Structure 1
Amino acid sequence: MKNVWILLLAISLSTYVKATEGMWLPLLLAQLNEQEMQSMGMKMTAEDIYSVNKGSLKDAIVHFGGFCTGEVISDQGLVLTNHHCGYGQIQSHSTLENNYLEDGFWAMNRKQEIPNPGLFVTFIVRIEDVTDLVLNNVTEDMDAKMRQSWVDKNTKEVTAAAKMEDYQEAMVRDFFEGTKYYMFVTETYRDIRLVGAPPSSIGKFGADTDNWVWPRHTGDFSLFRIYASPDNKPAEYSEENVPFKPRHHLPISLDGVEEDDFTLVFGFPGRTEEYLPAAAIEQRVDVVNPIRIGIRDRALNVVNTAMQADPGVRIKYASKQSRIANYWKKWIGENQGIKATDGVGRKKAYEAEFRERVMGNPEWREKYGSLLSSFERLYGDLEPYAATNTAVGEIAGRNIELFRLANTLHSVVKMYESSGAPMVESRMGRLEDFVEDFYKDYEPSVDQGVFATLMDYYFTEISDEHQAPFAVERYVEAGKDADKLASMIYLKSKLARPGVLELAMEEGPEALIKLIKNDVAYALARAISDYNDDNVAGKYRDIKAEIDDLQQQYMRAQIDVFTERRFYPDANGTLRVTYGKVDGYQPRDAVRYEPVTYLDGVMEKYVPGDYEFDVPQRLRKLYQKKDYGDYGEDGKMPVCFIGTNHTTGGNSGSPAIDAYGNLIGLNFDRAWEGTMSDLNYDASICRNIMVDARYILFVIDKFAGAGHLVEEMTLVHPKKG
């Protein structure tokens, strides 16, 4: 029976990477994926997707702002991305008088398109394998520090020697835990203008309730335009710039999707950790995620209450609330998905087969025999430090705005202490822009509420030996009452008062540094962070460094041991292709989700006046008349669909592309049950959620009356030949 079990497990491992799993480098599609993709229905070749010799799909894909993906959908530089990717820009242009978040925005001509300082898009020109060059003089017996020294030296030489135009850049990224290296030659455009955005009642329909959830009915899209110099090269904003002419733009299919249709998602996924050991997954599920979720629960309770009570706060905190809530809900789904699919058990079964093979081979036993037991020991040592480090990161680093401001100002203090007033003076313009932007959307009373509830967590949930003495002293002064501590800090802190910091900046670096150093909120933030750095984070980093070294060995070991398995690199913010099919799923017993939603579902969810489920009157009228133009299907208006593509954060705004290379949708989310795909993909429940391209066109044309934008797109009927 044991031999039969091993045989069955080996068979399952040989097909461990399902056809729908993986985030593949476009450079390698011809040798690794093309045949399989075509067997799934794709009509293109690998060169149609990625080519350096001709225009290809990759020339229409952009890294949007460094945090999302976008795609060029016209020969005039029109870029499509998610509403939530453009949310910060839409918010920054919104006021109570011109509330583009609530009412939407549509430029009816080029002069109305709005510049966005600081926003950029990046194209990938080409990708090169530079592994041999980067690992030159690196040997297996080197310690981690020496190895990294050689890698850094070689990387500088590789990028310096890269053949490229003077307006291009080169970057090298590591893959498979530093066993492979690729160079990306890029072009970045920095004159990006807002063209169109639906109202949040469409672009964010369902808001927090529907976030990470299927069925979904959200028109999560926005439009921008790339401007270039008159010779079509990257340029800073100028009135002389003209719409960018791309090497390729995506045609848009009007034929829609059906179950089992081939789908390709092209974009810049942020970060996955698919090759972690079971011990790491257990710690994430049982320790780290519950801390993150609990802290953000508290912050969201305060922010949500304030937003519901005050329309002005709602505008100021719309983007901030989304930032807090997005990963809060993702972590909840991640935990549930891992437990529902026995993700830890699957990892342990995989590791059992790994051990079996390793112990049966003398060479492997010598090299890899102690890897898994070392992981278990090290993750046990890491746990108390991981718990505190996670909590302090959420409290002092992310969710209390006053602390986030103090952290930024601390970098100014360090600059002053190391380089003097002239250096601070030279950076004052940039600091002024940051401070102005910070206070524009800052409400001290809301932040004080968040401070109170999170500091209560700090003093009641974090172990006593990990609490900063200075913070404890202030807490005792406040009678061990977090609300009183908050009142004391926000009353005394000058950083909590808009205008005071600006005045100090006008007086010069010395006055600014004096104000910062004497501020009680700054002192408290530094005390918590510094104590954590000295007593927790340092030990965390030391143990984590050992784990990272083991992880690199474990990655090499898996590749050596499972020769029949096809490995794909973890996402690291670089350009990837993932492919799958339109497909429903069954999240639990007796529940089956269909793969397509319609405008009927929007109306079923409609709640007049509700900030999540209100529906614009014009959309309701179009629905009543069934006035869908060329975009409807059998008297219905498709809204969203799901597929089996393996996606993650950063894939927001990625195009969903059909078998012929046409845009059929816009990726914007994952189904809640499958958010654990960052750690453990399972084809049974992992689904990515996309807006149907026809719904996007319908909203632009029929709802917004911006048909001139549709006219510059290329609309096709591939299924009709």
Structure 2
Amino acid sequence: MKLVRLLFIFLSFPLFAQQGGMWIPSLLEGMNETEMTNLGMKMTAKDIYDVNNASLKDAVPHFNGGCTSEVISNQGLLLTNHHCGYSQIQSHSTLENDYLENGFWAKSLKEELPNPGVTASFMVRIEDVTTKVLNGITNAMTEAEKLKTIEANIANVVQTSPKEAWQENRVRTFYEGNQYMLFVVETFKDVRLVGTPPSSIGKFGSDTDNWIWPRHTGDFALFRIYADKNNRPAPYSENNVPYNPKHFLPISLDGVAENDFTLVFGYPGTTDEYLPAIAIEQVINTINPARIAIRDAALAIQDKYMRADPQIKIQYASKFARIANYWKKWKGETLGLTKSNAVGIKKQQESALISEINKKGKQQQYGNILPQFEQYYSEIQPYALAREYYLETVIRNVELLRIAYQTYQLKQVYEERGEQSFMDRKNNLVEGAQGHYKDYNQQVDKEVFEALMDLYAKGVPQQFLPASFKNLNAAELTENVYKNSAFVDYASLKNLLEGNAEAVLAKLNNDPGYKVVAELANTYFEKVAPKYEELDLKISGLERDYMKALLELSPKDARIFPNANSTLRVTYGKVAGYSPADAIYYEPVTHLEGVMQKYVPGDYEFDVPKKLRDLYQAKDYGQYGENGKMPVNFIGTNHTTGGNSGSPAIDAHGNLIGLNFDRVWEGTMSDYYYDPSLSRNIMVDIRYVLFIMDKYAGATNLIEELKLVHPKKENKKNRKK
């Protein structure tokens, strides 16, 4: 195959082919709208995004900055994933009143539970501000100078762009700095827990089934947005009232079938679809193995204690789920990248691009990009490895170190901003740490500390290790820290932080836990971070130029979508099964029968509540079953990632048919490379959600709020007319 032909495949996929994509909703008219129509969509682009009229965007808020949710009633009822609301469910749970174990259903507004700090943010308007942000940028500038100018321009756009008093302006970059968009958002700060199934439904399969298909998980929870008397955002108050949305999603009872159109609307977090081959090789061979090894160790220890002690299970349920989620994702990602030959395909694409650059006489502008990628990624590799070890150990997986690091930051605050700033930050730390120690177990953390200190000493390149780590006795260090450090309980921490800055810092310098963090952090910030940031800035500049080359040299109908960046996006596709290996084909829909096949009495991952078993035996599915079976989950070709958790799955007519919550394991590499044969997103069938609410929980008060429709039946009736 000729290189030019390869380039055409890379830059301009055949029209209507499913090759992924996370599209900006304000820019759907044209190619995207045509493609969606050909896939079966009956809506228009304006039905999805419209500034002047209610549209789908007005029913899809960002949930607490990390997940997506959807409004499903005219009283602000909010649907998202069980795992997105897991921390809130856990925070309301006790041994006596365990909502993780038993579920929770408010029978009235008065019973709904407030969640301080939880937010729901709606996107009001999107505007292209590229010209304003890039004003004053010249080729003669260094990357640092360009960055400084861009940051100043963004600050000006945020400050001067029109908005209402209760709204906020945000600017985000697209296409690696070749485009900038302004988002006007409004954030509601009174979001209350309304209902959740028990974890045996909402988290069925737990970590064993995470990222796996076939799946049988009722991963949903219900919240409600409250507003002030003017229907505007307001802090929590007993006087607030349920929010009246501009639009809420009707719910289809007609279900899904293979090849049905699906649209997933949400806030995907981060993707890197346009990384060069050498970067993908680094992920496969260096970065992911380090991440996985560290979390392997931490998870094994937590799991051992959680299985033995119900109190520890409650304390660590949310933490374990958070750590395990990306641990398993990274394993599947490596598998998928290898299986799909992502590195080889990207190398072919790069060869094709070089050919096109030469053909168009663009060598001076773009000819050095790929050789420079090779140089900078080779240089950054040891720094990137050391960085991952530091982040995974100090910031993410050892609780004592994470708290100690916050006190390390106190010292920096004092040196840079003085006594008052120190005291303010210290008081906030003391107040916030109380919640941390509620869910802290010293023995669990002690074992994690020892295991990860040993891995750190063995895995970090020698030139980036603190002196004391070069002949480390991890057991001896652990015993000293957990016997003598004040970071092992809340009372000791409070005592440690009593006094003015000088007194606190003196005590900190004598604390063995603080000494470990200070030594690790000082070494990292002196030997790793500066060079990593220098090289990363150079790579970012190359990525911008690389993206510019792709945009400039591609045909007009090229399907080049921007990487995810936690802004509102549309991804569309179809309900579809897939074949992960030879002689294996997975159907696109699972049923309650599969839950019963996996049922293990008393098992924390696969137990099934008696009432659900009884409903299954009686086949008592109400109006939610289909042909004597109860659908549970389904998969589609929608291109999703972290942040799309809780995203609505919407049918061709704009009705809710499901709730996105995961991807298949073989397709988790779609953050770097979307393979249409393997990449599938996993959704809860909305009928299973309704079945659990109605038949299992008896939450008929919530069912009555909803607008239930039959679009397929209505269309069939209209065709007959």
Bin the TM-score by the shorter chain.
Answer: over 0.9
Measured on the aligned residues, the alpha-carbon RMSD in Å equals 1.5
Letter in 2 for 1:468: P
Identity of aligned residues (%): 54
Equivalent residues in 2 for 1:238-253 (5 A)? 238-253=237-252
Give the 3-state SS of the residue equivalent to 1:193 in structure 2.
Answer: strand
Give the 3-state SS of the residue equivalent to 1:30 in structure 2.
Answer: coil
Structure-2 separation of matches of 1:580 and 1:83: 24
* Equivalent residue number for residue 364 of structure 2: 366
Structure-2 separation of matches of 1:147 and 1:418: 26
Q: Does 1:503 align with 2:495?
A: yes
Deviation at 1:233, TM superposition (A): 0.8
Structure-2 separation of matches of 1:10 and 1:63: 36
Match of 2:376 among 371, 375, 378: 378
Letter in 1 for 2:701: H
Structure-1 separation of matches of 2:280 and 2:259: 32
Gapped runs of 5+ residues in structure 1?
Answer: none
Structure-2 separation of matches of 1:66 and 1:718: 33
**C-alpha offsets along residues 570-608 of structure 1, whole Å, 9 cap, x if unaligned?**
000100000000000000000000000000000000000
Deviation at 1:399, TM superposition (A): 0.8
* Equivalent residue number for residue 432 of structure 2: 434
Deviation at 1:423, TM superposition (A): 2.9
Structure-2 separation of matches of 1:150 and 1:482: 47
* Equivalent residue number for residue 295 of structure 1: 294
* Equivalent residue number for residue 323 of structure 2: 324
**C-alpha offsets along residues 387-434 of structure 1, whole Å, 9 cap, x if unaligned?**
222112211221111111011122223223333433344445532331
Deviation at 1:60, TM superposition (A): 0.4
* Equivalent residue number for residue 157 of structure 1: 156
Give the 3-state SS of the residue equivalent to 1:295 in structure 2.
Answer: helix
Gapped runs of 5+ residues in structure 2?
Answer: 715-721
> Does the 8 Å CA contact 2:11/2:550 hold for their aligned counterparts?
no
* Equivalent residue number for residue 467 of structure 1: 465
> Does the 8 Å CA contact 1:20/1:579 hold for their aligned counterparts?
no
Q: Is the deviation greater in 315-324 or in 381-390?
A: 381-390
Letter in 2 for 1:540: Y
Deviation at 1:537, TM superposition (A): 2.4
Aligned in 2, Cα 1:509/1:110: closer, same or farther, shift over 3 Å? farther
Letter in 1 for 2:57: K
Give the 3-state SS of the residue equivalent to 2:572 in structure 1.
Answer: strand
Give the 3-state SS of the residue equivalent to 1:499 in structure 2.
Answer: helix
Structure-2 separation of matches of 1:373 and 1:354: 13
* Equivalent residue number for residue 105 of structure 2: 106
Match of 2:401 among 400, 403, 406: 403
Deviation at 1:505, TM superposition (A): 4.6
Match of 2:643 among 650, 653, 664: 650
Q: Does 1:418 align with 2:416?
A: yes
**C-alpha offsets along residues 316-371 of structure 1, whole Å, 9 cap, x if unaligned?**
00011011110000000001001111111110111111011112232x11111121
Match of 1:620 among 613, 617, 625: 613
Aligned in 2, Cα 1:103/1:514: closer, same or farther, shift over 3 Å? farther
* Equivalent residue number for residue 686 of structure 1: 679
Q: Does 1:483 align with 2:475?
A: yes
**C-alpha offsets along residues 503-545 of structure 1, whole Å, 9 cap, x if unaligned?**
3456565554443332111111121121022112222222222
* Equivalent residue number for residue 183 of structure 1: 182
Structure-2 separation of matches of 1:162 and 1:148: 21
Q: Is the deviation greater in 144-153 or in 185-194?
A: 144-153
Equivalent residues in 2 for 1:109-128 (5 A)? 109-128=108-127
Deviation at 1:6, TM superposition (A): 4.3
Deviation at 1:377, TM superposition (A): 1.7
Give the 3-state SS of the residue equivalent to 2:222 in structure 1.
Answer: strand
Letter in 1 for 2:365: K
> Does the 8 Å CA contact 1:20/1:578 hold for their aligned counterparts?
no
Give the 3-state SS of the residue equivalent to 1:80 in structure 2.
Answer: strand
* Equivalent residue number for residue 719 of structure 2: none
Aligned in 2, Cα 1:16/1:175: closer, same or farther, shift over 3 Å? farther
* Equivalent residue number for residue 663 of structure 1: 656
Q: Normalising to structure 1: TM-score of the pair?
A: 0.96
Aligned in 2, Cα 1:417/1:8: closer, same or farther, shift over 3 Å? closer
* Equivalent residue number for residue 234 of structure 1: 233
Structure-2 separation of matches of 1:321 and 1:188: 29
Equivalent residues in 2 for 1:153-302 (5 A)? 153-302=152-301
Aligned in 2, Cα 1:656/1:156: closer, same or farther, shift over 3 Å? same
Aligned in 2, Cα 1:361/1:9: closer, same or farther, shift over 3 Å? closer
> Does the 8 Å CA contact 1:470/1:524 hold for their aligned counterparts?
no
* Equivalent residue number for residue 581 of structure 1: 574
Aligned in 2, Cα 1:505/1:538: closer, same or farther, shift over 3 Å? closer
Letter in 1 for 2:443: S
Match of 1:720 among 706, 713, 716: 713
Q: Does 1:704 align with 2:706?
A: no
Equivalent residues in 2 for 1:542-553 (5 A)? 542-553=534-545
Give the 3-state SS of the residue equivalent to 1:192 in structure 2.
Answer: strand
Aligned in 2, Cα 1:688/1:243: closer, same or farther, shift over 3 Å? same
* Equivalent residue number for residue 626 of structure 2: 633
> Does the 8 Å CA contact 1:501/1:512 hold for their aligned counterparts?
no
Structure-2 separation of matches of 1:675 and 1:42: 26
Structure-1 separation of matches of 2:177 and 2:6: 32
Letter in 1 for 2:218: G
Structure-1 separation of matches of 2:584 and 2:382: 40
Q: Is the deviation greater in 346-355 or in 538-547?
A: 538-547
**C-alpha offsets along residues 451-507 of structure 1, whole Å, 9 cap, x if unaligned?**
1111111122223222101444xxx5xxx4322221111111011123112234565
Structure-2 separation of matches of 1:16 and 1:99: 53
> Does the 8 Å CA contact 1:20/1:580 hold for their aligned counterparts?
no
Deviation at 1:8, TM superposition (A): 5.9
Deviation at 1:13, TM superposition (A): 4.3
* Equivalent residue number for residue 511 of structure 2: 519
Aligned in 2, Cα 1:556/1:463: closer, same or farther, shift over 3 Å? same
Letter in 1 for 2:525: D
Letter in 2 for 1:393: L
Deviation at 1:20, TM superposition (A): 4.9
> Does the 8 Å CA contact 2:264/2:647 hold for their aligned counterparts?
yes
Q: Normalising to structure 2: TM-score of the pair?
A: 0.96
Structure-1 separation of matches of 2:502 and 2:492: 15
> Does the 8 Å CA contact 1:645/1:688 hold for their aligned counterparts?
yes
Letter in 1 for 2:551: I
* Equivalent residue number for residue 554 of structure 1: 546
Structure-1 separation of matches of 2:515 and 2:379: 31
Q: Does 1:492 align with 2:515?
A: no
* Equivalent residue number for residue 452 of structure 2: 454
> Does the 8 Å CA contact 1:77/1:227 hold for their aligned counterparts?
yes
> Does the 8 Å CA contact 1:228/1:235 hold for their aligned counterparts?
yes
**C-alpha offsets along residues 68-122 of structure 1, whole Å, 9 cap, x if unaligned?**
0011000000000000000000001111001111111111111110000011110
Structure-2 separation of matches of 1:563 and 1:643: 28
> Does the 8 Å CA contact 1:471/1:524 hold for their aligned counterparts?
no
* Equivalent residue number for residue 52 of structure 2: 53
> Does the 8 Å CA contact 2:434/2:490 hold for their aligned counterparts?
no
* Equivalent residue number for residue 67 of structure 1: 66
Deviation at 1:16, TM superposition (A): 6.8
Structure-1 separation of matches of 2:45 and 2:20: 18
* Equivalent residue number for residue 131 of structure 1: 130
Aligned in 2, Cα 1:97/1:127: closer, same or farther, shift over 3 Å? same
Letter in 1 for 2:655: N
